[in-house]
Each structure stands twice: as structure tokens, then as C-alpha cells.
Amino acid sequence: MKPELLNPVDKRRCPKCWCCVNGWRGRRNRRLFGLMLACGVLLLTATNLSAEPTVLPRVVVSTDIGGSDPDDFQSMVHYLVYADRFETEALISSPPGKGRAEHLLVAISAYEQDYDHLQTWSATYPSPDRLRSVVRQGAISKQERPTPDDAISEGAALLVERGRVDDPRPLYVLVWGSITDVAQAVHAAPDIRHNLRIYSIGSWNTSQDRLAREYLFNTYPDLWWIECDTTFRGMYMGGNQEGEWENRRFPELHVRGHGALGELFITQKADIKMGDTPSVLYLLDGNPDTPEAPHWGGAFVRPDPVGRPTYWNDDPDPHLIVKDKAGAVTVAEWREAFLKDWSDRMDRTMTIKP
């Protein structure tokens, strides 16, 4: 008997597993998968009885917040209501353009106004002063030659410092602007590259300093790097856009009136774009060690597994395209899940935990 074929939408994968990765699923496979899942749940439950609290991922955010696109403010609001899920080691203003470190401080000031409520929900929310202490100004001009200059920005210097910390955890570098400061840091201290995991939002950001991107890509083929050029579009394209999930309706219902952070979001841009947020979603749901697997922040492919075994890019599968944007479905398919979770987080800004 031929295996049961998936419909074109389901062909990509089951949302939470890989039972459909080869494009089919028979009854025998489903029963076997069910048994495996049940055993896994029992094992996980037994393990969690004595498990230590989850170790927070180390994170650096490099952002052009305050520049020409207000969606970095949106993504920073989202990041800050999840700040208890990360060990934030650096917040770098990396235009090049009009954005400056002072714009990061604006977002932290809004966080400070909501902090009394937020900290009742989790003891790992960092204090506003702690966040201010890791803000640095990055490069204010793009790289002018194929190789970065020896002089590096304050932001790049902090990235070098954090990259050399003796810690078994990798350092995730979320790049929301140009990749200038990362190029400076790796050029100045090539040894840190083995500790870095880069998730960069490309497209327009890449165009702001293409030489910096080309330097990293051509010089360090062993760099662990998710270069997200189109997948991030699934943050605001595709998925369920009906009713409360619509890009303008959702912030009106679940962000407006939700603390100082909610007001900052609305005043900067009242509808969902949040194009940098998939880099954060990637760390919130899914196994960050495996970029090919499903995550709220997308699933990626290795274009050159032999030459660049730790480089991933957008999945060109036609079933995963939204409005010509490759891979966007791998974010958009989780839209209701990540928006509902964010809504719960925004509620924290208004109430003290019972």
C-alpha cells in the first residue's frame, strides 16, 4: 500500500516534530511515533523531578534602534518583556546611521517604569541599571575597506570581552542592524569566533555595510551563522491574519495601554512589523543547537554542508515561500503561538503576580 501523501501545506513538516520530514506518514509511522513520544515524555518527566533550573542563554543584541526604521523599538520592547529568559551581556547601538546608544536607553527607561510589575513574575528579570551597564555605542560609520580597521568601537570591544569569557555556553549575537561591530570584533580577536553564534537579520541591514558582511563570510567559513535574509518576513507576512491576529488589530488589543513598554511600541509604530524579532523567537521555542529544526524564529538550511558546515540560510522550498520570501512560512506558521505568548508577557507590565 502506498504511503498517505501529505497535502502541499503539510508537506513541509509537522509543526512540532519531524515525523513528516520525508513527505509522508503512514498509520504504522504514527503509532510508532506515538510510542516514542510517550516514552520520551515519561523519561523527561522523571528527569525533571531532579533537574536544575534552566540555564539562561548568553545574548548580545546589536541593533540600529533609532535609525530610519522604527521596528527596532518594537523588537526591543518584545525582547525586554522576555528579558528574564536571557543573560543579556551587551546591547550595542550599531547603525551606521542616525541610531545611537541613547535610543537603547529610551527603551530601558520604559522597562524601568514597568520593572516593579515584571520582577514579581520572575526573579531573573535584570534590573534596569544592569541593562544600562551593558549598553555601548557601536560603529557610526560603515567599513570602508575589505578588511576592518584595527581601531574598534566600544561595542565591538565589549563583544570581544564577552566572547573571551570562560563559559561553556555559546554567546548568541543577534544582529538587527549592520554587522559592522561583529566584523570589527572578530577581526580584532579571531579566537572569539568559536564561542559565537550569530543570527543576523540580513536584507536591508546587509546593504548598510556589505563589506563587513563579505569580510566575515569570506574570511571565516567556520563561523556559526544563521543569515536570515527573507525568513524573518514571516513575522508580519502569512500565518493567521484574521481578527485579533491581524497586524494592526493585535497591538491595539494586546499592546496599547500595557505599561510604558506598550506605549513605546505604539508610539513608534502601531502595527506589527518587528522584523528583527525572529532572532529572539529562535531562542524562545525550539532547539537552538539545530537551525534545521522547527523554531518560532524559523527553520534554515545549509547551502554548503561540506565547505560551510555551520552556516545556514533561508529554505528555498517553494512550499515555504510567502509573497516570494523564501522560508517565511517557517515563522508565519507559529504566528498564533508566539503572539499569544507575547500577549501574556505584555500583561505582566500591568499586574503584580498573584
For residues 325 and 234, the answer to whether their CB atoms sit within 8 Å is yes
Please give the pLDDT value at position 4. 33
Please give the pLDDT value at position 97. 76
Cβ-count burial of 124 within 10 angstroms (0-12 exposed, 13-18 middle, 19+ buried)?
middle
26-34: average pLDDT: 35
Cβ within 8 Å of residue 292, ≥6 positions away? 299, 300, 301, 302, 312
Please give the pLDDT value at position 54. 78
For residues 199 and 228, the answer to whether their CB atoms sit within 8 Å is yes
**pLDDT greater at residue 80 or residue 44:** 80
Cα–Cα nearest to 131, from 80, 175, 177, 95: 80
Please give the pLDDT value at position 46. 34
What tens digit of pLDDT does each residue of 116-125 get?
A: 999 999 999 9
What is d(CA 335, CA 341) in angstroms, rounded to the nearest whole number? 10
Please give the pLDDT value at position 22. 35
* Confidence label for 241 from pLDDT (cuts 50, 70 and 90): very high
C-alpha gyration radius of the chain: 21
What tens digit of pLDDT does each residue of 252-267 get?
A: 999 999 999 999 999 9
Please give the pLDDT value at position 100. 93
What tens digit of pLDDT does each residue of 54-69 get?
A: 799 999 999 999 987 7
Please give the pLDDT value at position 2. 34
Please give the pLDDT value at position 76. 98
Please give the pLDDT value at position 95. 75
Please give the pLDDT value at position 36. 41
197-219: average pLDDT: 96
What tens digit of pLDDT does each residue of 135-158 get?
A: 999 999 999 999 999 999 999 999
Please give the pLDDT value at position 137. 96
| 236: three-class secondary structure by DSSP | coil
Lowest mean pLDDT, pick from 6-20, 177-191, 301-315: 6-20
Mean of the per-residue pLDDT values of the chain: 87
Domains of the chain: 59-348 (3.90.245.10)
What tens digit of pLDDT does each residue of 159-205 get?
A: 999 999 999 999 999 999 999 999 999 999 999 999 999 999 999 89
Q: Is the pLDDT of residue 21 over 70?
A: no
Please give the pLDDT value at position 9. 34
